[in-house]
Chains A and B, each alone.
Chain A
């Protein structure tokens, strides 16, 4: 799309939206949000960028194929579920640190699990959309 306004806006929108998606991911445990929505918002950020600047620009910005996020996310989710096994609890028991961290809030296995979901969703969405737009 050859719109100067859209193009310049997208450059600023991308980091803002990604930041927003992380924010949505982190607040998910207490307020509306979570890994799934966060992932979708992050994907939308990249898709808008690719609309404005062309797919190639976006891809060179990401540096690697978004498909790699899928196995990474899956592994994070799986590993976070396996952590409780180390202390003899059953698979996917939620474990939490007692004190919240500044900015991020409470840290626990569920948060890592949600991060895994977040990454998988970005990977899946971008892979599908990029593949389709490349092919046609």
Chain B
């Protein structure tokens, strides 16, 4: 299974080498990857239908409990099938949609990467690996939204989506770590047995709060929804695949997955109901006011996600069952509508519903697919959408005191969604064909067959709900609730209140569609309230933050080395001084100090003279040379106290520093004193304070009882364990070899930095 999950990453890594093939004739090969995976996961269906689950564990970082652990149950299988199935169709669709695009290879690379991350996300049993895959989906989504990288709007949308989902991801990480700390394991299956402990723990509120933030940002819930309409800047296959069928459902998946562990508490349910309800009503109202087909679909997707959150929040048996069905329903019809939109855009060059019409005359199969999807979306019998909607009403009606409010909200949402579905799926194909679209024609079959398949499935599953009931929906339900289901999904329930509500929705929705004339003006009215929307508030916050960052950076990072040094020294001096003043009683035990020898006195005198030369010299060369003398004197002191390694290194470093200085000095203007006397005085005082503090600190450390355990260990074992007699060297290359490895890497990075800074600057100067 691990190969199946990671195959997308492997293909993505190979893409750069297969670039020519993928862009040319080989493009048609790409869709077989998701197709094979789809068949592979379909093979698990009988096993899962029997109520079994599949578990696999690969050790990764066992020392901190992070393993590549995969768990396949009903919920994961549903998502895995959607990811690979819709993936395969989208891959096929892309072959024609982006035919001959210069970055087609990249596109497939990103798309494969996304598919693999998404599979990893829904199959992970370890909550930390789940987070890693979660972030990978955000990153691949970033690349795909910004795919038209020459369009500044695209880039901006990509960045917005990444910052929102990425921010949510960080919250999720904290939540997961907290959960792991409380439950004592990162494995979801093991956490399940700790449920009562976690629910009673004082951190429970934090855990679900952070989890919610992650899920809401990813699944575009109010008030974080605004990145999703922006993400529609991506090519249509991406919108279909990521922003309606799979990635945005990752948040839903997360909530569904954690329902048996963290759910069924008042906090959990109430939050989800409120957020879900607000999102679905808000987005549904917005969706009917848009005129761009993709905009309509984007908002109706947000509304659908709201419905799902709302259903998971209700948490009753009917609601969870409704959610299981609705995940599938929505994926099928929304993907169809997106693909259809892509075709319309591709063939006519516009997505404006006010301009489009009569396209059925030129592209009948597309019109059929769109019509089927619109009907499924409307929830007319005998589509699967009808079953889904019935289940939703059943869930809200049976929800105690709030049944009326919740049902009204659900009806309102469904009316608007129905209208939006008709706008996107029916209107462009109905009526008379405007003259300017007469040249439009049916695209290549790889484009119109996928939406037809998806729409057809919606009808098929509606006619024969038995196909998916036992096999897929029941296992999904049981992985969400932990119990077996009592109820079976069916098309016909008899004449009852729910049927009445369905009819009411249908009638009102159609009436709304007939009455509503989408226009620029209506859309313009919504824009007047734009300043109130979360997006504008977020943008305002963003601007304030940038401004603050600018001021902050301008103050501290002003580019003058002297200011950096002063800031660091002053800060340290104040901090250390405060600490010494407050708590530490200074005891300097003179008796412990060794006696001065004549050599030391001489060295100190040399240093003193050099300092005076350095500070007061009128020539840079003298100052630098004196600085070198100070360095060499320190080497001598190291030698006196038997640290030859240190002395040798210090000696070489000092030599090189002086050489470097000398190299630079020739290039500087004539020596001049720029700083005023008072500034020089200030610097002097600060230096003296700092030096004194460090000296006092060193003496203070000496008077502390010394813990020699470490040094004794090194001294004793350096020959026994590492066969070396020079302890310093043994520590460097053996005991702490890993540190050295990283240090030399840092050195290399620094050298590359110097090289590129100077060379690149030189090149740009040469150009001028």
Interface residues of A (CB under 8 A from B): 24, 28-37, 40-41, 43-44, 47, 51, 67, 70-71, 73-74, 77-78, 81, 91-92, 94, 96, 106, 108, 110, 113-114, 116-117, 120-121, 123-125, 127-129, 131-136
Contact = CB atoms under 8 A, between A and B. Distances in A.
Interface in B627-675: 644-645, 648-649, 652-653, 655-656, 659-660, 663-664, 666-667
Nearest to B719: A30
Contacts of A43: 656
A40 B653 contact: yes
A23 to B, nearest CB: 12
B446 to A, nearest CB: 45
Contacts of B649: 36-37, 40
Contacts of B653: 40
Contact of B729 (A34, A40, A77, A78): A34
7 contacts: A31-B725, A32-B644, A34-B729, A92-B738, A120-B744, A131-B754, A136-B666
Contacts of A73: 744
B572 interface: no
Contacts of A36: 649, 732
A33 B645 contact: yes
Interface residues of B, number: 43
A91 B750 CA distance: 26
Nearest 3 pairs of A and B residues by beta carbon: A40-B652, A32-B644, A29-B724
Nearest to A127: B751
A106 to B, nearest CB: 6
Contacts of B752: 67, 70, 127
B430 interface: no
B547 to A, nearest CB: 36
Between B659, B738, B752, the greatest number of chain A beta carbons within 10 A of the residue's beta carbon is seen for B659
A30 B725 contact: yes
Interface in B735-768: 737-738, 740-741, 744-745, 747-748, 750-752, 754-755, 758-759, 761-762
B744 A110 contact: no
B741 A81 contact: yes
A127 B656 CA distance: 13
A44 B759 contact: no
A5 B728 CA distance: 38
Q: Max chain A CB contacts within 10 Å: which of B652, B655, B667, B744?
A: B744
Contacts of A125: 656
B439 interface: no
B contact face: mostly helix, strand, loop, or mixed:
helix
B726 interface: yes
Interface in B657-700: 659-660, 663-664, 666-667
B648 A110 contact: no
A113 B724 CA distance: 14
B467 interface: no
B666 to A, nearest CB: 7
B285 interface: no
Contacts of A70: 748, 751-752
Interface in B197-247: none
B522 interface: no
Contacts of A120: 744, 747-748
A74 B746 CA distance: 11
A33 B748 contact: no
A117 B744 contact: yes
A28 to B, nearest CB: 4
Given A37-B645, A110-B730, A120-B748, 19 more contacts: A29-B733, A32-B648, A33-B729, A34-B732, A37-B649, A37-B652, A44-B652, A44-B659, A70-B752, A73-B744, A92-B738, A108-B723, A110-B724, A113-B741, A117-B732, A117-B733, A120-B747, A121-B744, A132-B758
Nearest to A111: B733
B726 A74 contact: no
A68 to B, nearest CB: 11
A123 B758 CA distance: 17
Contacts of B292: none
A78 B442 CA distance: 58
B751 A124 contact: yes
Contact of A30 (B724, B744, B758): B724
Given A132-B663, A135-B758, A135-B762, A34 B744 contact: no
Contact of A77 (B724, B734, B744): B744
Q: Most A CB atoms within 10 A — which of B645, B732, B747?
A: B747
A77 B741 contact: yes
A29 B664 contact: no
A29 B655 contact: no
B605 interface: no
Given A78-B741, A117-B740, A128 B659 contact: no
Contacts of B588: none
